[in-house]
Amino acid sequence: DVVASNSHQLISFVVLQKIPFVILFFVLLEYFSVALNVCCVLIFLQLISCSIDFYTRVFVRVHDGAAKAKLSATKMAHYYQCTFCQNHYTPPMGRQREGKRGGKKFVPGQAPPISQHCSNCNRVFQMGGPLWGGPLHDREFIGECIEYAKERGDFATEKRMVGMLSTCKEELELPLYYTINGLCGVVHCSSIPHEKFRSALGNAGYEVSPTHCTPQGIKTNAPQHVIWDIIRTWVKEHPVSSRVLEGNSPSVQILSKDITTEIDFTFNKDAQPKTSLTSLTRYQMNPTKNWGPKSRAKGKREHNDSEEANDGTATKKKGKDNEQ
């Protein structure tokens, strides 16, 4: 469903079903990027990209100009992901560099410096994409939306709107995020508290932010080996079950590697999200227990099964009557 706003030149793309794979969300952005930038010689700027409840919604501002449209190739990326530990790389499809006579020249992108097997767990990589690899939000525009919502003061969902927008504004300009419980689940260790995980990243000199998609998610510019050094350090302090360390499983290969980063779990205030200190509704709570999509209806199937059962009983009775 596409809704155009003449006053702000906005286009809202509404997908009425939330996609369970985060990558597919960015493939949708890439689809619209190709449609606008290539076919129409237009370029669009990401204003807000939200994953809300069971759908995604993207707001963009469209500009024309063939020269600017060429920049879209630098924001499109391929996706390489390990099939076990979720290590991933998003190399851009195109690069921009200085030409021999000055000016800018666009050249093809380069593959990431990886082999067929993951250096972390020795499993194979899968390739996907293309997907959108540029910024997902315009922080200045989000700030204007927050001020407008507060000035209006008559939106029924104002508290949630401001909370969602504030979390989007706080996100790092990275396309993908990690889930802490997902990382810990790879090596079957106890989940690291969010404050400690964020503090470890901050104390190591890297940025970290929440993501509006899930309260379990984080975004960080830390290299992946640093993230796994945090996991290894945590496991040393909180050992896993001995069964996890049996054989030569990918979990064993991950935990057996040397820790090359000094990890400090001491509380780091600067690494904590600023929105967590407010009373904003950052993540909507379920209104009732077990709220959400239900399983498909089974009434008709049960009705048919009962009819078949009755038919079978009637057939047996008829057979007995004929024998008599």
126 strand-pairing partners: 81
Q: Which residues contact 306 (CB under 8 A, 6 or more apart)?
A: none
Query: What residue type is 138 in one-letter code?
Result: D
For residue 229, count CB atoms less than 10 angstroms from its CB and return exposed for 0-12, middle for 13-18, buried for 19 or more. Answer: buried
Ranges 168-182, 241-255, 306-320: which has the least confidence:
306-320
What pLDDT score does 23 carry?
43
Confidence of residue 240 (pLDDT cuts 50, 70, 90): confident
What pLDDT score does 41 carry?
59
Q: What is the pLDDT of residues 201-219, one digit of tens each?
A: 999 999 999 888 888 889 9
Closest CA to 221 of 266, 174, 178: 174
Q: Average pLDDT of 159-179? A: 87
What pLDDT score does 4 carry?
31
Confidence of residue 231 (pLDDT cuts 50, 70, 90): very high
Confidence of residue 229 (pLDDT cuts 50, 70, 90): very high
What pLDDT score does 33 carry?
52
What pLDDT score does 250 carry?
84
Q: What is the pLDDT of residues 51-80, one digit of tens each?
A: 877 778 888 887 777 767 777 778 888 888
Q: Which residues contact 244 (CB under 8 A, 6 or more apart)?
A: 187, 188, 251, 252, 255
Q: What is the pLDDT of residues 103-144, one digit of tens each?
A: 778 888 888 888 888 888 888 888 887 888 888 888 889 889
Higher-scoring residue by pLDDT: 275, 259 = 259
For residue 72, count CB atoms less than 10 angstroms from its CB and return exposed for 0-12, middle for 13-18, buried for 19 or more. Answer: buried
What pLDDT score does 202 carry?
93
Q: Average pLDDT of 284-313? A: 63
Q: What is the pLDDT of residues 20-46, one digit of tens each?
A: 334 444 444 554 555 445 444 566 777
